[in-house]
A and B are shown apart, each in its own frame.
Chain A
Amino acid sequence: MKHAIEIDSLDYSYADGTEALCKLSLRVAPGECVGLLGSNGSGKSTLLLHLNGILPERHGKGGPVRINGQVLHQGNLDWIRQQVGLLFQDPDDQLFCATVGEDVAFGPTQLGLPQEEVDRRVKAALAQVGLLGYERRAPQHLSQGEKRRACLAGVLSCQPSILALDEPTSGLDPRSRREFKSILRDVPATKLVASHDLELILEFCPRSIILDNGRIVAEGATFELMADEELMLAHGLERPHMLDHMMQNDVLPWSPTLRPPSP
Chain B
Amino acid sequence: MGGIHFGSHGTEPVSLRRTAERPAPPFSAVSPAWKLALMLVLVFTTALLPVRFIAWHAGLGLLLLSVVFMGRIPLRPLLLRLSLVLPFLACICLASALGPQGGPDWRTLALRGALCTGTVTVFAAITPLGTLPLLLRRLHVPPLLVTTLALMHRYLFVLMDESQRMRRARESRTLRGGRSRTWLLSADVLGRLFVRASERAERIYLAMCARAWK
Q: Do chains A and B touch in the complex (CB under 8 A)?
A: yes
Using A88-B203, A96-B154 as known contacts, say yes or no to A138 and B210 having CB atoms under 8 A apart. no
B214 at the interface (CB under 8 A from A): yes
Closest residue of chain A to B209 (Cβ to Cβ) is: A54
Assess whether A170 is interfacial by the CB under 8 Å rule: no
A133 vs B11: C-alpha distance when bound (angstroms): 23
Among the stretches A20-28, A36-44, A60-68, A140-148, the one at the interface with B is A140-148
Which positions 93-131 of chain B face chain A at CB distance < 8 Å?
130
- Let me know if B207 and A94 touch, CB within 8 A: yes
> Which A residues lie within 8 Å of B213 (CB)?
106, 110
Chain B residues 169-214 with CB under 8 Å of chain A are 200, 203-204, 206-214
Interface size on B, residues (CB 8 A): 39
User: How many A residues have CB within 8 A of the partner chain?
Assistant: 55
> Which residue from A33, A93, A133, A253 sits with its C-beta under 8 Å from B204?
A93
B6 at the binding interface (Cβ < 8 Å): yes
Judged by a CB distance under 8 angstroms, whether A258 is at the interface is: no
A115 interface residue (CB < 8 Å to B) = no
CB-defined contacts of A77 to chain B, threshold 8 Å: 212
Q: State A130–B13 Cα separation when bound (angstroms).
A: 9
B30 at the interface (CB under 8 A from A): no
In the bound complex, what is the Cα–Cα distance between A252 and B2 (angstroms)? 11
A95 → B minimal CB distance (Å): 8
With CB as the reference atom, state the residue of chain A lying closest to B151: A96
Output the least CB separation between A163 and chain B (Å). Answer: 12
Q: Is the CB of B19 within 8 A of A140?
A: no
Q: Which applies to chain B's interface (DSSP): helix, strand, loop or mixed? A: loop
Alpha-carbon separation in the docked complex, A97 to B130 (Å): 10
Nearest residue in A to B132 (C-beta to C-beta)? A98
Complex alpha-carbon distance, A85 and B6, angstroms: 27
Structural contact, A111 and B212, CB atoms closer than 8 A? yes
Name the A residues within 8 Å of B208 (CB-CB).
Answer: 96, 106
Instruction: Digitize B1-36: 1 where CB-to-A-CB distance is under 8 Å, 0 elsewhere.
Output: 111111001111111101100100000000000000
Known: A99-B130, A182-B14, A204-B3. A93 touches B210 (CB 8 A): no
Tell me the chain B residues, 144-171 only, with Cβ under 8 Å from chain A: 150-151, 153-155, 157-158
**Within 8 Å of chain A (Cβ to Cβ): is B134?**
yes
**CB-based nearest B residue for A151:** B207
Whole-angstrom distance between the alpha carbons of A86 and B211 in the complex? 8
* A135, CB-defined interface residue at 8 Å: no
Contacts A96-B151, A96-B207, A107-B212: A178 and B1 contacting too (C-beta < 8 A)?
no
B174 to chain A minimum Cβ distance, whole angstroms, is 28
Query: A119 near B: Cβ within 8 Å?
Result: no
Q: List residues 199-213 of chain A with CB under 8 A from any CB of chain B.
A: 199, 203-204, 206
Supplied contacts A81-B209, A93-B207, A178-B12, 17 more A-B pairs, CB within 8 Å = A33-B1, A49-B206, A92-B158, A93-B203, A93-B206, A94-B207, A96-B208, A110-B214, A130-B14, A134-B18, A140-B154, A146-B19, A155-B211, A179-B12, A181-B10, A246-B4, A252-B4
